[in-house]
């Protein structure tokens, strides 16, 4: 499963990219507004940090402006995926851009019927928002399950990108169901590493190792420089 981070915060992206486990980034207009930065230089900067796919969302809702915005966003870097909303005009833009070889992420997907349309429009990714469905008492992961089944049955190539992730179980369940990608807020991505028994076990190993008085590295090995 690929991990994208769902943020427009460059410091967070830089930090998480250093783990070597980050496959891409998703942004949206709300995240860009929160960053307080100018959108176009921001996307260029993010694309320079992460070699994987970076989703940049159009701002317009009409076909004519969306297609122009999408074509422009695609020129910013090779790893841009143009993000379009799951509307008739958005899917028309998706079809036009994907036919020309541009990666497209169809966002704001809330039903399997919408996901079928996104795949037919040639989307590289479809983004079902599981957390927002859970928030209104619906079954976000149930939607992921159904879309994965449909795409498998129909041999549809669009990747299922689990979006609006609220906790690590959304990621784990998505992986079990065969979703190819999860886009995860930075704090939840960090939670994926954590388990109290890992911390407890490591503290015990460190304490027991110190009792041996041994060192693994011979004296002549110089320490690596640490980050400032």
Given the residues 37, 83, 200, 225, the one annotated as active site:
83
Q: Kindly report the CA angle at 201 between 200 and 205, in degrees rounded to 5? A: 120
What are the backbone angles phi and psi of residue 220, rounded to the nearest 5°?
A: -75, -10
The sign of the dihedral angle between the CA atoms of 199, 202, 207, 210 is negative
Q: Is 83 a catalytic residue?
A: yes
CB of 163 to ligand E4P, least distance (A): 4
The smaller minimum CB distance to ligand E4P, of residues 131 and 178, is found at 131
Q: Half-sphere exposure of residue 123, counting CA atoms within 13 Å on the CB side?
A: 28
Residues forming contacts to ligand E4P in the complex (CB under 6 A) are 6, 26, 28, 107, 127, 129, 131-132, 163-164, 183
Q: Assess contact for 106 and 125: CB atoms under 8 A.
A: yes
CB of 55 to ligand E4P, least distance (A): 6
Look up residue 130 and give its two tokens: 């599981």
Say which residues have a Cβ less than 8 Å from residue 103's Cβ, sequence separation at least 6.
53, 80, 81, 82, 124, 125
CB of 100 to ligand E4P, least distance (A): 22
CB of 132 to ligand E4P, least distance (A): 5
The smaller minimum CB distance to ligand E4P, of residues 156 and 161, is found at 161
The smaller minimum CB distance to ligand E4P, of residues 167 and 200, is found at 167
The smaller minimum CB distance to ligand E4P, of residues 55 and 98, is found at 55
**Which DSSP letter does residue 225 get?**
P
**Catalytic (active-site) positions:** 83
């Amino acid at each position: 499963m690929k991990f994208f981070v769902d943020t427009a915060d460059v410091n967070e992206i830089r930090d998480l990219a250093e783990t070597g486990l980050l496959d891409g980034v998703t942004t949206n207009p709300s995240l860009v507004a929160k960053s307080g930065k100018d959108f176009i230089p921001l996307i260029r900067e993010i694309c320079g940090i992460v070699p994987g796919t970076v989703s940049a969302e159009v701002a317009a809702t009409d076909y004519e402006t969306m297609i122009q915005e999408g074509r422009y966003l695609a020129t910013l870097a090779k790893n841009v995926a143009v993000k379009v909303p799951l509307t008739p005009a958005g899917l028309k833009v998706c079809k036009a851009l994907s036919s020309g070889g541009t990666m497209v992420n169809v966002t704001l997907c809330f039903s399997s019927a919408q996901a079928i349309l996104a795949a037919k429009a040639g989307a590289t990714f479809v983004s079902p928002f599981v957390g927002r469905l859970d928030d209104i008492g619906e079954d976000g992961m149930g939607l992921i399950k159904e879309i994965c089944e449909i795409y498998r049955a129909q041999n549809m190539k669009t990747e299922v990108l689990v979006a609006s992730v609220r906790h690590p179980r959304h990621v784990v369940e998505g992986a079990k169901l065969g979703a190819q990608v999860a886009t995860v807020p930075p704090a939840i991505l960090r939670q994926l590493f954590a388990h109290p028994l890992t911390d407890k076990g490591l503290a015990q190993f460190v304490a027991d190792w110190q009792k041996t008085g041994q060192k693994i590295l011979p004296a002549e090995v110089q320490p690596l420089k640490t980050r400032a």
